[in-house]
Structure 1
Amino acid sequence: MAEQASSEKKSKPGFFKKMGKSFKDMKGEVKKIVWPSKSSIINNTIVVIVVCLIFGAFIWGLDAVLTGLVRLVLNNA
């Protein structure tokens, strides 16, 4: 009975072995990553900035129109 309990403990991997295996697996996955080139990063950044400016201008215009409508309604009420 005591021998069976000790053999079960030996067959289970320890916490540090599991952590080591996890880090080895992560290292292997990081090696598989295809990083974008500098030019694609610059192009994507420009696209994001332009889209943000367009949406910002749209929201600003919508806000100005709705503010004018609210003032018109409140002044006539």
Structure 2
Amino acid sequence: MSEKEKMNQDATAEGTSVERVKETKAAKPKKDKAKAEKDKKPGFGKRLGRFFRELKAELKKVSWPTRADTLKKTGIVIVCVIVVGIIVWIFDGIASSVIDALLSLFGR
């Protein structure tokens, strides 16, 4: 017995005729069109409004630092930048002195 005959027997055993199965298959394109209309992108204004609503909701979830915490961390960053700047300045001076010594040693 072929698979089609088995499917037909199963459909008739369940009380469903082959015609109903065909009707169901024929009705699918109509549902696809309705689904396609639902899946259309909303307009620019609606998308922009949704973006700002979601942005506001996300910003409410943020744990904002206190003023004292912000000032403390800003001070730490400034001190670190100054320390790294001094270290780079020292190494630059040393490298410059070494290059000048080598150039004077080889007579350029």
Is the pair's TM-score, using the shorter chain for normalization, greater than 0.5?
A: yes
CA-to-partner distance for each residue in 1:15-62, whole Å, 9 max, x for gaps?
A: 238624443322211110111100011001100010001000000000
Q: Mind listing any 5+ residue stretches in structure 1 that lack a counterpart?
A: none
* 1:15 partner SS: coil
Measure the CA separation in 1 of the matches of 2:91 and 2:68. Answer: 35
**RMSD value, Cα:** 2.5
Q: Could you say which residue in structure 1 is the equivalent of 2:39?
A: 12
Measure the CA separation in 2 of the matches of 1:59 and 1:49. Answer: 15
Q: Mind listing any 5+ residue stretches in structure 2 that lack a counterpart?
A: 1-26
Measure the CA separation in 2 of the matches of 1:6 and 1:67. Answer: 75
Measure the CA separation in 1 of the matches of 2:75 and 2:65. Answer: 15
For the pair 1:59 / 2:85, whether they are aligned, the reply is no
For the pair 1:50 / 2:79, whether they are aligned, the reply is yes
Measure the CA separation in 1 of the matches of 2:103 and 2:52. Answer: 64
TM-score (norm 1): 0.79
Bigger relative contact order (CA 8 A; separation at least 6): 2
TM-score (norm 2): 0.59
Cα deviation for residue 63 of structure 1 reads 0.4
For the pair 1:28 / 2:57, whether they are aligned, the reply is yes
Measure the CA separation in 2 of the matches of 1:26 and 1:59. Answer: 42
Larger radius of gyration between Structure 1 and Structure 2:
2
The alignment covers a number of residue pairs equal to 76
**Residue identity (%):** 22
